[in-house]
Amino acid sequence: MMKTLEKQLRGIEKIFIPYIMAGDHERGLDGLQETISLLETAGASAIEIGVPFSDPVADGPVIEQAGLRSLAKNVSLTAIIETLKTVKTEIPLVMMGYMNPIYQYGTEKFLTELSKTPVKGLIVPDVPKEAQNFLTDFLTAEMDICLVQLVSLTTGVERQKLLVDGAEGFIYAVAVNGVTGAGATYSDELDEHISTLSNLTDLPVCVGFGVSTLDDVARFNKVSSGVIVGSKIVRDLHEGKIEEVTTFIQEATK
Ligand SMILES: O=P(O)(O)OC[C@@H](O)[C@@H](O)c1c[nH]c2ccccc12
């Protein structure tokens, strides 16, 4: 049976997935519903929700700072899950979190509780495919949570094949070698790499890392199913540029 995340993303012509840091709001987690509704109304296809962590190895400065602001508000994984249980949304949520807090919480309990929320996908960037049995051992079909694979575009076709084999939801194509952050410069071969990856899978392929302008979005929409935008959205929300966020998503999904 096709899981909800894949079902809901399939058929969307220009997938747009904004990333937000849970708890990075004036009112902390009490502001989460408001931000989710704002992004959903603007036209987001799904929303990636980050769990703050003290040692976020894949995060660039903007996301890292957002995590620190959230941690300063004492936002915990437990509190995030409890808040998500109350969130109302028609679009799927994807949780992005590092393994350590999940392990501390208890992996099985974490997945069980997560399945009671609108979270339909999970990204754990510091657990490579070879070690994902730490998660998949406890992940049952009824939980309806897709473990999303991050695939580096310079990784070589054999590795890419391995990663997309049995993948669920969508493929997260990582556009740069390095950490997250707006304003990356992309290599000329990138579009070709994305096309190669897209040809290896039936799943939607979404491009993330450094996507921050409508030109970036248009470029990647040509060769993939859509984009993930983190740092730009996190920064604009933090600076109160709500209008900018709304128009950006509207334009990106037109
Ligand atoms: O911020 P950027 O460059 O737009 O990239 C998306 C990114 O923030 C989000 O998907 C993300 C935040 N932290 C991560 C860690 C690993 C993979 C992905 C992420």
User: Which tens digit of pLDDT belongs to each residue from 233-242?
Assistant: 999 999 999 9
**Distance from Cα 207 to the centre of ligand 1, integer Å:** 10
Confidence of residue 80 (pLDDT cuts 50, 70, 90): very high
Confidence (pLDDT) at 11: 87
Q: Look-up: residue for tokens 């199913």? A: 225
pLDDT tens, position by position, 7-52: 999 989 999 999 999 999 999 999 999 999 999 999 999 999 999 9
pLDDT of 183 higher than 90 = no
What percentage of the chain exceeds 90 in pLDDT? 93
Burial of 241 (0-12, 13-18, 19+ CB in 10 A): middle
Q: What is the dihedral of CA 191, 129, 147, 251, to 10 degrees?
A: -20
Separation of CA 229 and ligand 1 centre (Å): 7
What average pLDDT is seen over the chain?
Answer: 96
Confidence of residue 182 (pLDDT cuts 50, 70, 90): confident
Question: Model's pTM, two decimal places?
Answer: 0.98
Q: Is 48 a catalytic residue?
A: yes
Give the C-alpha separation, 162 to 153, whole Å.
Answer: 13
> Does ligand 1 lie within 6 Å of residue 96's CB atom?
yes
The pLDDT score that the predictor gives to residue 192 is: 95
